[in-house]
């Protein structure tokens, strides 16, 4: 039987409480394997959550050691997010961003070899589609290798995707291509959703575009039909559903996560100060 599991990524202790809420919600609907990939400064927070919810924790190398790593935090996360797909322990994997809440069973996702939720079609007249086309056009100036990818994608009637929730088979070649393309464009601060969109023309026949209820954001019409709600751009603290989910988590566990996050922040500050005075 093929192994199945869910992967999370924690690269900052500040996101530990968000991860706690997501894993707590997941465990109400799913009893299988879960792995949390964590950077060194996030490992203590990840271990607290993992001990409570029967998860594995895997350390990942410091982000600044990755090839073509950049200083801007968001794009470091982008690079690591595509890298951990190559390190998954499972034949069939569901990746969940830490800023998600699971509201129903997710077993059906494991039967999808390569699945993403589409956010819109590139040839639409919407302002979002226009912004995405402009972003893809700008990639022409990054590298001669990227120019043909950019040109074909601009004119293709394909969707762009959100990577807050996706599913993949570990042996699918698109996962490796996604990482290498993201790594190659890291210096240009190209996020992973854009790099995957560049690959869609190659793998369109393999990709299952999932029902938006699997990755519902607050601006979509699927918010109240959601199986998984996604809170990008740090909007979780404004949402009553998220705040209630946080309050429902064990009080001692919440305090432990807060304390570990504070210690990690103090350690990081001290390290930065020492580096500045060295």
Match 């026949």 to its residue by tokens: 205
b/e code 192-230 from CB counts within 10 Å (16+ = b):
bbbbbbbbbeeeeeebeebebbbbbbeebebbeebbbbb
At residue 190, the pLDDT reads 85
Supply 35's token pair.
């792995």
**What's the rounded mean pLDDT across residues 61-68?**
64
Given a contact cutoff of 8 angstroms between Cβ atoms, the answer to whether 38 and 123 are in contact is no
Residue 56: which of 36, 31, 77 has the closest Cα? 36
Q: Residue 30 is part of a domain; what is its CATH number?
A: 3.90.550.10
Residue 150 CA to residue 135 CA, distance in Å, equals: 9
At residue 65, the pLDDT reads 65
Q: Say which range, 18-27, 70-79, 224-233, has the weakest mean pLDDT.
A: 70-79
At residue 61, the pLDDT reads 76
pTM: 0.92
Residue 197: which of 162, 160, 166, 163 has the closest Cα? 160
248 lies in which domain range?
A: 4-277
Q: Partners of 8 in the beta sheet?
A: 36
Q: What φ, ψ does residue 164 adopt, rounded to 5°?
A: -70, -30
By CB neighbour count within 10 A (0-12 exposed, 13-18 middle, 19+ buried), where does 262 fall? exposed
- Count other C-beta atoms under 10 Å from residue 141's C-beta: 11
Q: What φ, ψ does residue 168 adopt, rounded to 5°?
A: -155, 155
**CA dihedral (99, 100, 101, 102) positive or negative:** negative
Given a contact cutoff of 8 angstroms between Cβ atoms, the answer to whether 245 and 100 are in contact is no
Q: What is the pLDDT of residues 35-54, one digit of tens each?
A: 999 988 899 999 999 999 99
Domain count for the chain: 1
């Amino acid at each position: 039987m093929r192994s199945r599991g869910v992967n999370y990524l924690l690269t900052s202790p500040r996101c530990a409480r968000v991860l706690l809420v997501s894993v707590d919600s997941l465990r109400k609907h799913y009893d299988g394997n879960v792995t949390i990939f964590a950077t060194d400064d996030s490992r203590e927070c990840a271990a607290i959550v993992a001990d409570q919810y029967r998860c594995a924790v895997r350390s990942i190398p410091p982000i600044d050691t990755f090839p073509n790593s950049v200083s801007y935090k968001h794009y470091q996360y982008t690079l690591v997010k595509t890298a951990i797909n190559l390190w998954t322990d499972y034949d069939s994997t569901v990746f969940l961003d830490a800023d998600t809440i699971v509201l129903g069973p997710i077993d059906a996702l494991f039967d999808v070899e390569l699945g993403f939720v589409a956010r819109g079609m590139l040839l639409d007249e919407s302002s979002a589609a226009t912004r995405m086309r402009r972003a893809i056009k700008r990639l022409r100036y990054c590298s001669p290798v990227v120019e043909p990818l950019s040109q074909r994608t601009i004119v293709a009637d394909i969707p762009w995707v959100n990577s807050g929730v996706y599913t993949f088979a570990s042996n699918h070649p698109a996962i490796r291509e996604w990482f290498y393309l993201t790594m190659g464009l890291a210096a240009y601060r190209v996020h992973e959703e854009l790099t995957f969109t560049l690959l869609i023309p190659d793998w369109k026949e393999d990709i299952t575009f999932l029902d938006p209820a699997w990755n519902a954001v607050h601006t979509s019409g699927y918010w109240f039909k959601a199986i998984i709600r996604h809170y990008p751009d740090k909007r979780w603290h404004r949402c009553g559903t998220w705040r209630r989910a946080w309050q429902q988590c064990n009080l001692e566990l919440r305090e432990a996560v807060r304390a570990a996050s504070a210690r990690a922040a103090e350690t990081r500050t001290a390290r930065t100060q020492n580096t500045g005075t060295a």
